[in-house]
C-alpha cells in the first residue's frame, strides 16, 4: 500500500507539474504574441515616421530648389531690365536731340513697348514656372469638374492666376498688379474657379497650393 500511495502522489505531482507547465507555456505564448504585435505596431509607426521625414525632406529640398531658381531668375531679369531701361533712356535722349520734343512725346505716349514688355515677361514667367511644375495644368484641371476644365498648351490668364497663388501671392491687389489686370477681373476669375471646383469652394485654393 505505501508503494501505491507513493506512486499516486508522484503521478499527482507529475500531472500538477504538467498542468503548470502547460499554463506557463500558454502565458509565454500569449506574451510572445503580444510582444510581436507591439513590435509590429512600433515598426509601422517607425515606417510612418520615416515616410513623414522623407516627405518633409523632399518638400524642403523642392522648396529650396524653387527659391534658388526664382532668385536666379529675379536677378537675371532685374539686370536685364536695368540694362534695357538704360538703353531706352539713351534712345529717348537721342530722339529728343534729333527729332525734337513732339516726336519724343509721341514715343512716350505709345503703349506698344509696354505691351511688348508684359508679353515678354509672361512668356518668361510661364517658362520658369512650368519648368518647376511641369504637370501644373494637368493637376489644376483635375481639381475642376468635367466641363469646367480648360484645354490650353500653356498658362492662360486663369491658370497664370492659379500659378501666382501657388507661389504664395494671394491678395487680389497683388495678383492684379502682377498679372496686369484689374482687381475686379481677379475677383471674378477666382470666384469662377472656386465654383468650378470638384471640392468645396473654400478648399480649392488650398489644394492648388499643395500641387507639387
Residue-wise pLDDT for 10-64, tens only, equals 666 666 666 677 777 777 788 777 777 776 776 777 677 666 767 656 666 666 6
The label of the residue with cell 512725346 reads 105
Threshold 0.75, pTM exceeds:
no
Is the pLDDT at 175 greater than 70, yes or no? yes
pLDDT confidence of residue 132: 86
Q: In this structure, what DSSP letter does residue 152 have?
A: -
pLDDT confidence of residue 55: 61
Mean pLDDT across the chain, nearest whole number? 81
What pairs with residue 197 in β-bridges? 144
CA distance 182 to 175: 9
CA distance 20 to 66: 68
Alpha-carbon dihedral sign for residues 200, 206, 211, 212: negative
Q: Which grid coordinates belong to 139?
A: 493637376
How many of the other CB atoms lie within 10 Å of CB of 155? Answer: 22
Share of the chain above pLDDT 70, in %: 75
| Burial readout 24-38 (b: 16 or more C-beta within 10 A, e: otherwise) | eeeeeeeeeeeeeee
How many of the other CB atoms lie within 10 Å of CB of 108? Answer: 10
Share of the chain above pLDDT 90, in %: 32
Q: Contact, 128 vs 109, CB < 8 A?
A: no
Rounded mean pLDDT, 163-170: 91
The label of the residue with cell 492648388 reads 208
Query: Residues 176-188: pLDDT tens digits?
Result: 988 989 999 999 9
pLDDT confidence of residue 4: 65
Rounded mean pLDDT, 87-96: 80
- Give the burial class of 166: count Cβ atoms within 10 A of its Cβ; 0-12 exposed, 13-18 middle, 19 or more buried: buried
Domains of the chain, CATH where assigned: 112-212 (1.10.10)
pLDDT confidence of residue 196: 96
Cα–Cα distances in angstroms (integers) from residue 162 to residues 76, 165, 207, 211, 212, in the given order:
24, 5, 11, 11, 13
CA distance 38 to 124: 55
CA distance 89 to 159: 35
pLDDT band at 118 (very low <50, low <70, confident <90, very high): confident
Amino acid at each position: 500500500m505505501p508503494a501505491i500511495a507513493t506512486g499516486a502522489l508522484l503521478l499527482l505531482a507529475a500531472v500538477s507539474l504538467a498542468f503548470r507547465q502547460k499554463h506557463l507555456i500558454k502565458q509565454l505564448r500569449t506574451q510572445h504574441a503580444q510582444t510581436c504585435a507591439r513590435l509590429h505596431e512600433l515598426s509601422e509607426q517607425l515606417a510612418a515616421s520615416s515616410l513623414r521625414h522623407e516627405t518633409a525632406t523632399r518638400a524642403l529640398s523642392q522648396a529650396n530648389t524653387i527659391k534658388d531658381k526664382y532668385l536666379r531668375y529675379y536677378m537675371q531679369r532685374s539686370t536685364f531690365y536695368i540694362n534695357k531701361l538704360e538703353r531706352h533712356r539713351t534712345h529717348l535722349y537721342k530722339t529728343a536731340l534729333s527729332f525734337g520734343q513732339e516726336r519724343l512725346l509721341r514715343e512716350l505716349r505709345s503703349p506698344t513697348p509696354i505691351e511688348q514688355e508684359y508679353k515678354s515677361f509672361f512668356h518668361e514667367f510661364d517658362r520658369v514656372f512650368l519648368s518647376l511644375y511641369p504637370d501644373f495644368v494637368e493637376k489644376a484641371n483635375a481639381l475642376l469638374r468635367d466641363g469646367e476644365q480648360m484645354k490650353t498648351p500653356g498658362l492662360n490668364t486663369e491658370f497664370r492666376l492659379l500659378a501666382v497663388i501657388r507661389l504664395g501671392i494671394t491678395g487680389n491687389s497683388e495678383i492684379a498688379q502682377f498679372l496686369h489686370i484689374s482687381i475686379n477681373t481677379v475677383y471674378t476669375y477666382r470666384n469662377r474657379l472656386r465654383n468650378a471646383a470638384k471640392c468645396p469652394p473654400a478648399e480649392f485654393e488650398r489644394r492648388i497650393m499643395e500641387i507639387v
